[in-house]
Amino acid sequence: MRLQFEPFYEEYLKKLAAYNLASATMYTDQWTVAPSAGIPHANEMMAILAQELFQIENDPAMIEKIEAYHKTLPEGSLEQKEVKMRLDDLGHTRNVPADVYRDFVKARNDAGYYWHQAKEKNDYALFKPYLVDLMNKSIEYMKYSPKYTGDNLYDVFLDAYEPGMNEEKYDAFFDVVKTELVPFIAKLRAEGRTIDDSMLSKSFDIERQERFMDTIMRYLRVDPTRVSLGTTEHPFTNFLSHNDMRITTHYYPDRFLCAILSTVHEYGHALYGLQMDEMFEGTKLNENVGSAAHESQSRFLENHIGRSKAFWQANYDELVKQFPEFEAVGLDALVDMINVSEPGLIRTEADELTYPLHILIRYELEKDMAEGKMDYDQLPTLWADKYEQYLGVRPQTDSEGVLQDVHWSDGYLGYFPTYALGSAYAAQLYHTMAKQIDVDKALREGRMEEITNWLKDNVHHYAGSKTMAEIVEIVSGEPFDPHYYVDYLKDKYSKLYGLK
């Protein structure tokens, strides 16, 4: 059953969906299989498509018609909620001149291209002018939002990625993270036992890794008729339709675990899209799922499932079959290795415990970016200083420092905090799930569908009709509380490292 709209509105949604499908397909192609020499031309074509989509979406006559239509819809209906959400979003974009939006899209595409080049060449200076241009154009674009009051620009960015969030709320959240975890990590490093995870840094050929990934995909019950797996520099998931999810990963010969957890993470995103109520497809109720909501599901699968002993119990025999090198390691030692905590430089390879501090660093830098206070010449040094302050490590190159993430090259100012918030949402959801079903037993016995069905029934089916904060409260029976997150981490790593 689909939502019921007037024919003019149905046609409007279909046309927007067609343009979005074209852009999403081109984006996926660009970062997976497209030859690099053709990317600048593709960027220009994508900018033209984006401008046309923008004009269609923000046509004054159509908006006026939608406003009148909104008044006729039943109060409290999902149809009314969809139209209201669209009008709220249009309240921003309708104010943006088409040329300003076109220039923003072109700057974003250029920044993405030169970020990739700069990362390969380990040269921040190559990327810097495009980053500065994109941030300036992102700020200019966001100032057209009706939510912008003149002194709350970062709030506007934050709310765009997770509705209802602002700097004050994130400050309170990160204060709990910083207060609880920074001293705990210091204690762990001083008093915790040593875990040798050197086996995971040995070289394993990519061909074998790809074969084992097929095992993991089957275990997760990934439907190959609805989900594809590709490779890219920085893994991502793209949602082309309810039945077309594109996930990507990256294989490293000497980082065996990286591709596995990355793929499980990205499948968490895809699973959310696959299990949203199909009646929401093509509507804002599907599109406006908060980024922290999405990250809660990817981090849920990556950490609470993919790092669990039960998950590896189910897959250990196949692992040893394909990688005999692990037979002498043993299951318990392997699980310890997978969960080892060691402050490092790369966010995507960070363990659960140190991960939120990687996000804290980016959050603190983004505040200055949004307020126009950032000295971009000094950004690599500022980045390195914060890594030394919070994690006790210092990057020696741009590629392992400020160039490691794709997000700022996409104009995603305000996205990073959602990773940590999503992890915290996941912890509270998992706490409730574990009281209702025997998660470890289901995983050991290969009944992944018991996990995914619980997520569908309790979380996924809502799509964007509710915020994740609302869903967490419905599921757990209490408001979101970040202490579930820090308590989970401290308990897990105290046991792992033998802390008293």
8 A C-beta contact, residue 423 and residue 356? yes
8 A C-beta contact, residue 206 and residue 253? yes
Q: Give the number of C-alpha atoms closer than 13 A to the C-alpha of residue 236, restricted to the C-beta side.
A: 17
Residue whose C-alpha is closest to residue 167's, from 364, 390, 372, 412: 364
Q: Which residues contact 395 (CB under 8 A, 6 or more apart)?
A: 345, 380, 383, 384, 387, 401, 402
Q: Give the number of C-alpha atoms closer than 13 A to the C-alpha of residue 74, restricted to the C-beta side.
A: 7
Tell me how far apart the alpha carbons of residues 149 and 70 are, in angstroms, rounded to a whole number: 26
Measured distance between the N- and C-terminal CA atoms of the chain, rounded to whole angstroms: 55
Output helix, strand, coil percentages for the chain, rounded to the nearest 5.
70, 5, 30
Out of 82, 162, 167, 266, the active site residue is 266
Q: Is 266 one of the annotated active-site residues of the chain?
A: yes
Q: Give the count of beta carbons closer than 10 Å to the beta carbon of residue 205.
A: 10
Taken as a whole, the chain contains a residue count of 500
8 A C-beta contact, residue 323 and residue 451? no
Calculate helix-pair angle for 167-191, 153-161, nearest 10 degrees: 70
Tell me how far apart the alpha carbons of residues 217 and 215 are, in angstroms, rounded to a whole number: 5
Q: Give the count of beta carbons closer than 10 Å to the beta carbon of residue 202.
A: 11
Categorise residue 374: left if φ over 0, alpha if ψ from -120 to 50, beta otherwise.
beta
Among all residues, which ones are annotated catalytic? Answer: 266
